[in-house]
């Protein structure tokens, strides 16, 4: 696919607010576009995801991980939360993880977001979270877009946070 065809497909997906299609085109964008254009591409995905978040909250519904657009929206919002975490903004990341945990009908995703939130709330650096709490090899085996497998230390952190909240 050439650059012009790709741009046309991206424009169409954006008009349709089709986040899933934008993710499907992601690999091709990396091959054909420069860094600045890629930054704009991901900003568009985030804008669409934030619109979908607002619509979902206003409708008082939860997102269904089995629905393609909801899945893609949760992925985009998770990546946004991880960007905050990576940028040294753990309190912002913790707030986003909390919202994400309540946004999905998927219990495993919601439980994983609780651990993410706890780690960020404790100001645990992202590198330490990934090294000490996340089981990245097991996560990779599950094929999820989010860190979904954790060490025993992660459960201990969650239990400690629960006991301090009570």
Asked whether residue 73 is domain-assigned, the answer is no
Asked whether residue 154 is domain-assigned, the answer is yes
What is the number of structural domains in the chain? 1
* Domain that includes residue 159, residue range: 89-166
Give pLDDT tens digits for 22-39.
999 999 999 999 999 999
Q: What is the mean pLDDT of residues 36-60?
A: 95
Asked whether residue 149 is domain-assigned, the answer is yes
Token pair listed for 145: 């877009």
Whether the per-residue pLDDT at 107 is higher than 70: the answer is: yes
Asked whether residue 24 is domain-assigned, the answer is no
Q: Where are the alpha helices (DSSP H) in the chain?
A: 3-15, 19-24, 26-32, 35-58, 68-86, 90-103, 107-121, 126-128, 136-142, 152-165
User: How does DSSP classify residue 150?
Assistant: B
Asked whether residue 47 is domain-assigned, the answer is no
What single string gives the DSSP state of each residue in 35-73? HHHHHHHHHHHHHHHHHHHHHHHHTT--B-TTSHHHHHH
């Amino acid at each position: 696919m050439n650059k012009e065809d790709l741009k046309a497909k991206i424009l169409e997906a954006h008009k349709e607010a089709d986040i899933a299609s934008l993710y499907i085109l992601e690999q091709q964008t990396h091959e054909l576009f420069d860094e600045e254009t890629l930054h704009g591409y991901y900003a568009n995905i985030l804008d669409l995801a934030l619109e979908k978040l607002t619509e979902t909250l206003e409708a008082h519904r939860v997102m269904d991980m089995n629905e393609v657009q909801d899945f893609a929206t949760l992925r985009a919002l998770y990546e946004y939360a991880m960007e905050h975490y990576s940028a040294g903004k753990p309190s912002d990341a913790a707030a986003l993880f909390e919202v994400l945990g309540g946004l999905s009908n998927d219990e495993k995703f919601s439980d994983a977001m609780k651990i993410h939130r706890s780690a960020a709330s404790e100001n645990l650096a992202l590198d330490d979270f990934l090294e000490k709490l996340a089981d990245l090899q097991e996560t990779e085996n599950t094929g999820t877009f989010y860190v979904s497998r954790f060490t025993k230390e992660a459960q201990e952190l969650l239990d400690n946070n629960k006991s301090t909240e009570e």
